[in-house]
Amino acid sequence: MNIAIALLTALCAVLIASIFAILHQIRPQPRHVFAGPATTTGTETTARTKPDSTPDKKPNSKYVVFRVRGPFLNSDELHKLLETCVGTDCTPRVHSFAAQADDEDKVATITFDKTPDQLIGHKEKTYAHENITIDHNFYGLTVLFSPGTSDHQLDIIAICGLGGHAFGSFKERDGTHMWLRDSLPKDFPHARIMTYGYDSHIHGSNSFQDFETLASSLRVSVEGIKPPTNSLHVKPIIFIAHSLGGLVLKEALIQSGRANSNLFRRTQGALFFGVPNEGMDIASLLPMAEDQPNEAFLHTLHPESELLRKLSRQFQEIFNSPATTIFSFYETKTSPTAKKDVNNKWQMNGDPVILVGSNSATHCRPWENEAHHVKGLNQDHSGLVKFRTRDDAYITVRNILREIIRHQDVSPQQRLVVPGMDEELTNTCLQDLLLTNPKDEMIRIEKGKDTLLKDCYQWIMTDHQLCDWRTNPNRRLLWLRGDPGKGKTMLMISLVRELQPLWSDSHALTFFFCQDSDTNLNTATAVLRGVLWTLIHEYPSLGHYLHADFKHSGKKLLESSNAFFTLRRIMSKLLQDNTLPAIYILVDALDECDRGREDLLNFICENAADENSKAKWLVSSRNHLDIEMSLRGNQHSTLSLELNATHVEKAIHAFITHKIDKLATKKRYQEDLRNLVWKHLMNNADSTFLWVALVCKELERIGNYMTALELKSFPPGLLPLYNRMFQQILAGKYCSHTTAIMRSIILAKRPLLFDELCTLADLPKELMDDEQSLSDLVSQCGSFATIRERTIYLVHQSVKDYFVGEGQKLFTAGIIQEHREIVNRSLCTMSTKLKKNMCSLESPGAHANNNTLLPRGLGYICTFWMEHLEEYLAACGDRVENNTELLSDQGKVYKFLSRYLLNWLEFLALIGHLRGGISSLRRLEGLAKASSTIL
């Protein structure tokens, strides 16, 4: 049978298999996302037993803020009452004055130029004759601002976190500005603004409170709020919740939802700041609560807490109205932890950690865990809700509050009839567009690199080329260029971090990080898909630009050979939309865009020259000639790292100092050895961050007594260093295994899981169940590879370039033959392990819930064996003998498909890659036809 005809028959079988999959309702196993998971509780006062605004040990501090409640009518009357209560020696200053939420009294926040002696040592003091109460614990509801009755449109309530304080948690560090009181009323004059506080201290606590108790108290307080005088209905509420406060709010909404009570019906939206939805790091907190009643409560905040899992499930089921909106914020800085000092007192100087990880902080409702509803703030955990006057983070929060309010002002019915807006179709388009979330990819890349030091990137924020690009409307394209290892990607990440807080009604930001080692990140089509997905996710009304094409072709338009040009046409129109603000589009590592780079560069240049486009492009790459030639003649600016040597030198100096400090602490270097290592790195780094990082990683493995001698063996320059590292691999005891590992991860189309590496590298079978030994083998691959979350990554693109170029000794039979070996090994393994009904489904309609029955290690080869076949055949050209073995009528490919086609497609369906398999067969048909003309 002619191979081409066989493949046409195979395509018919694909349709049958697709129907089979639908009838069985096979649930694809979650696709492996190669992203780092990318946090103190509202532990605003982790090591304190007092709120941060109540420093009892410093009673004369003029920044102690008190709350006064009573029936006083105005500020003047309050001043008189205070003079009566505390005397005239201490001058009070009233910062806010409002009507209480639950009765006819008033509430004010005040400070004294000197704390009155009568108040020192008292958390709360009531003056019965004057009928006022002065306190600094701020428990319960405190109104900071109340609009006039006719102006009152909504309520905003802020809830503090674990160990937090209802006022102090939201006050700027080392200052007096409290944004809820001092900024928010100016921006939202129609909102009543309140805080809610509760006793959640850690050390010295006698409390047995749990989530239900805390939530019930919150619910009773909020549902006890009286409606404004003459109001015909209660007002909607937007919550601002920090850390534990978010969990308390979720439980309160669950309770209220079950009762269909006031709180549930009024809640319009929420802003969650560092809420540990999936738990937090409690290691440093447990010693503070040891043998206390609240110790058990702290354990419920552990990342493996079943209580938190239950809370998440119930919240998603009950609080699921599309008319509500939740935004989640996560921190991007570590937080200091509590540690006892020499006097056995808790101090905030312990090792810094991420207390609530980004995954935990953003795991709220499934439809709100993407870029638009998830924001990173460049703060530690407590700093997430501490804003200075009109700083960037505050502006971001203000704009999000405005969006929730606008969402409130438009009913769901009205939103559905916006011209061109088809919500369901837009969501379908977004699902089809998504290959991987650019935000998650950036977090993964960042996790795999060293800490982002401000001293290493601050210079670029004031660079005249960057400033001109941002402010000059005629400068719409900036190229950041530099040699390998110079820190381009970290600079781009820092630019994203710095530009994100500027997101406003006048500016937006989207980005994409190319990576040659991943097929989801190394094509021009993938770049446009990522950028389009982000923009439409942020601005759903733009979805109508996709509707016509998707209605006609569906996801097929993304799989066709014209996919890039279709997306280019769509994106050109979208970027001219009059409703869009100016858009910063950052694309990193253009040199790692392997497929369609020239087309992508042409589009970027043409769009940057389009006066109607809202886009400003910032692209980075190595000093590649083809990129330079594409940009030549176009109006663009260039920011060269080589021409900014002075700034880069200072940055590398800071980086080396940081790395040496960490190394010296870990290895316990003596001062003279530390200085010796520092001097060697400074003299040989050549402004290459990667070289410094690799040398430091190698030094970690060397004993201190050998460090001085080994230092001399680290030559300057990446290429000589790579040569040294490779020679060490070749001289290793397990050279055959480590070189097989290196060959596999160099040629792999994406990073490999442990079991996939075993299969692809043809390692001993016992290593499949011995991850520690496999991890040890990977660690013996010099510093070329690294492991994160059971996935093996190359440390840098330059490693791949080295081995496919000057490091050809790794591929003793040549790279072409290695691709052939991968194809042969894949076909053999799949033929052995694939079988019918691998998940033992009992009948059509049964769900494939137990994917653990699937053969291990097949995910990669089943998905990508065709790509390796294509590379092999492309390199072979017209050499008949090479094509005969694989693509003849009785060749290996035909024999595999004739016997195992349906089994292969079933496996792909179970791992969510059936479409990819169909696409592979279409490409194989073309290869077979071309091959038949040669044979």
- Confirm whether 517 is domain-assigned: yes
| Residue 11 confidence (pLDDT) | 54
Tokens of 332: 């991007």
Tokens of 935: 């044979």
Contact between 830 and 896 (Cβ < 8 Å): yes
SS3 921: helix
> Pick the residue with more confidence: 322 or 119?
119
111 backbone dihedrals φ, ψ, rounded to 5°: -130, 160
DSSP 225: P
| Residue 503 confidence (pLDDT) | 54
> Which residues, including other chains, have CB under 8 Å from residue 114's CB and lie 6 or more apart?
60, 62, 89, 90
- Confirm whether 398 is domain-assigned: no
- Using one digit for the tens of pLDDT, what is the confidence trace for 557-575? 888 889 999 999 999 999 9
Read off the pLDDT of each residue in 64-74 and give the average, rounded to a whole number. Answer: 89
Model confidence band, residue 412 (pLDDT cutoffs 50, 70, 90): very low
- Using one digit for the tens of pLDDT, what is the confidence trace for 246-285? 999 999 999 998 887 778 888 999 999 999 999 998 888 8
Task: Name the amino acid, one letter, at 128.
Answer: A
Residues 370 and 493 in one domain: no
Residue 503 sits in a domain whose CATH number is: 3.40.50.300
> Which residues, including other chains, have CB under 8 Å from residue 847's CB and lie 6 or more apart?
25, 26, 27
Can you list the positions of beta strands (E) in 146-299? Answer: 154-159, 191-197, 237-242, 267-273
Rounded-to-integer distance, Cα 349 and Cα 336, Å: 6
Model confidence band, residue 683 (pLDDT cutoffs 50, 70, 90): confident
Neighbours of 565 (CB within 10 A): 16
- Confirm whether 92 is domain-assigned: yes
Contact between 501 and 396 (Cβ < 8 Å): yes
Q: What is the 3-state secondary structure (H, E, C) of 672-713?
A: HHHHHHHHHHHHHCCCCHHHHHHHHHHHCCCCHHHHHHHHCC
Read off the pLDDT of each residue in 106-117 and give the average, rounded to a whole number. Answer: 90
Domain total in the chain: 5
- Confirm whether 296 is domain-assigned: yes
- Using one digit for the tens of pLDDT, what is the confidence trace for 457-506? 888 888 899 999 988 888 899 999 998 888 899 999 999 988 876 555 56
> Which residues, including other chains, have CB under 8 Å from residue 232's CB and lie 6 or more apart?
none
Q: Is the pLDDT of residue 65 over 90?
A: yes
> In the listed set 111, 136, 161, which residue is the last one of a domain according to the structure?
136
Neighbours of 805 (CB within 10 A): 10
Contact between 375 and 327 (Cβ < 8 Å): yes
| Residue 781 confidence (pLDDT) | 86
| Residue 107 confidence (pLDDT) | 94
Which residue, 244, 255, 350, is CA-closest to 298?
244
| Residue 155 confidence (pLDDT) | 93
Which CA distances in Å does 12 have to 19, 604, 834, 922?
11, 40, 21, 11
Q: What is the pTM of this model?
A: 0.54
- Confirm whether 400 is domain-assigned: no
Residues 214 and 283 in one domain: yes
| Residue 244 confidence (pLDDT) | 94
Residues 508 and 467 in one domain: yes
Q: Is the pLDDT of residue 5 over 60?
A: no
| Residue 29 confidence (pLDDT) | 39
Cα 73–Cα 74–Cα 75 angle in degrees, nearest 5: 145
Dihedral (CA of 866, 867, 870, 876) sign:
negative
| Residue 935 confidence (pLDDT) | 40
Residue 302 sits in a domain whose CATH number is: 3.40.50.1820
> In the listed set 98, 116, 136, which residue is the last one of a domain according to the structure?
136
Domain extent, residue 326, equals 137-389
| Residue 68 confidence (pLDDT) | 94
SS3 862: helix
> Pick the residue with more confidence: 174 or 168?
168
Rounded-to-integer distance, Cα 332 and Cα 855, Å: 38
Q: Which helix (H) or strand (E) holds 787?
A: strand 785-788
- Confirm whether 412 is domain-assigned: no
Rounded-to-integer distance, Cα 195 and Cα 179, Å: 12
> Pick the residue with more confidence: 387 or 347?
387
Rounded-to-integer distance, Cα 303 and Cα 309, Å: 9
Read off the pLDDT of each residue in 730-759 and give the average, rounded to a whole number. Answer: 91
| Residue 881 confidence (pLDDT) | 54
Mean pLDDT, all residues of the chain: 82
SS3 416: helix
Cα 626–Cα 593–Cα 741 angle in degrees, nearest 5: 120
Tokens of 94: 């009233």
Residues 252 and 296 in one domain: yes
Residues 97 and 182 in one domain: no
Rounded-to-integer distance, Cα 316 and Cα 312, Å: 6
Task: Calculate what percentage of the chain has a pLDDT beyond 70.
Answer: 86
Residues 470 and 528 in one domain: yes
Residues 179 and 114 in one domain: no
Rounded-to-integer distance, Cα 612 and Cα 624, Å: 30
Query: Measured in whole angstroms, how far is the alpha carbon of residue 385 from the centre of its chain?
Result: 19
Read off the pLDDT of each residue in 738-754 and give the average, rounded to a whole number. Answer: 91
Residues 687 and 636 in one domain: no
Residues 521 and 490 in one domain: yes
Residues 838 and 910 in one domain: yes
Q: Is the pLDDT of residue 899 over 70?
A: yes
Read off the pLDDT of each residue in 33-47 and give the average, rounded to a whole number. Answer: 33
- Confirm whether 411 is domain-assigned: no
Give me the numbers of helices (H) and strands (E) for the chain, helices first please.
37, 22
Rounded-to-integer distance, Cα 434 and Cα 30, Å: 14
Residues 557 and 683 in one domain: no
- Confirm whether 40 is domain-assigned: no
Rounded-to-integer distance, Cα 380 and Cα 782, Å: 34
- Using one digit for the tens of pLDDT, what is the confidence trace for 771-780? 899 988 998 8
> Pick the residue with more confidence: 415 or 244?
244
Tokens of 748: 């792999």
> Pick the residue with more confidence: 801 or 9?
801
Residues 651 and 636 in one domain: no
> In the listed set 640, 661, 682, which residue is the last one of a domain according to the structure?
640
- Using one digit for the tens of pLDDT, what is the confidence trace for 48-62? 333 333 333 343 445
- Using one digit for the tens of pLDDT, what is the confidence trace for 598-657? 999 999 999 999 989 999 999 999 888 888 888 876 677 889 888 888 888 888 888 988
Contact between 855 and 838 (Cβ < 8 Å): yes
Which residue, 197, 165, 140, 133, is CA-closest to 53?
165
| Residue 702 confidence (pLDDT) | 85
